[in-house]
Amino acid sequence: MHMFFILIENKMAMVSCFRRSNFSATGRITRLIHNHGLNPKEMKKDVIGPADPVSNLRPILFRIPEKESELEKKLRLKREEIQKWNQEFWATHNNNFLKQKRDFVNSLSSDEVKAKEKKALTSEEMSEFYKDFLDNHWEVHLTYNKEWYKRNLDLLFLTYRVKCNNLLKKLISF
């Protein structure tokens, strides 16, 4: 178990996190809310949690502004959806990477392993694996990058609409 300290609403909170747990990053954020009394409607800012041990991504608990408009809600939900998609992709990708890396190391002949007793594999030996892994997964990465750009452009457009809408509200209220 690993302990993390994060700043939440100007209070230091200790968060425990089990390495390689079956809980998703979103599940950890949900537990963070319940364990530390966080309420997205009462927060002044978004809260960023500890890095997920598998995906290496830090989950975000998005604050819910007072008098959130439908457009702002749509933006927040879209951000949450993209965070979940990103989390799932990298958790799956990294699990696949670790499994294939373990298989590669185990595939070395026992003589090679015995000769290296307790020595880490050299960077030259591992570079063969890394190159093969990237060569075999370039299409997956390309597809991910295209989708990531598309989703982020959608977010950018939606954010622009929210900002324009908020500016318009301020101008009308004068």
What is the rounded (10 degree) CA torsion for 136, 107, 22, 89?
Answer: -10
Residue 132 token pair: 């093969």
* Residue 71 and residue 44 in one domain: no
pLDDT (tens digit per residue) in 103-131: 888 887 665 655 554 466 788 888 999 99
Q: What is the DSSP letter of 12?
A: E
d(CA 152, CA 157): 9
4-36 tens-digit pLDDT: 444 444 444 444 443 333 445 556 666 666 566
Across residues 70-88, what is the average pLDDT?
Answer: 96
Domain range enclosing 7: 1-64
How far is Cα 21 from Cα 33, in angstroms, rounded to an integer? 18
Q: What is the pLDDT of residue 113?
A: 58
Residues 74 and 17 in one domain: no
Do 3 and 73 share a structural domain? no
**pLDDT value of residue 25:** 54
pLDDT band with cut points at 50, 70 and 90 for residue 47: confident
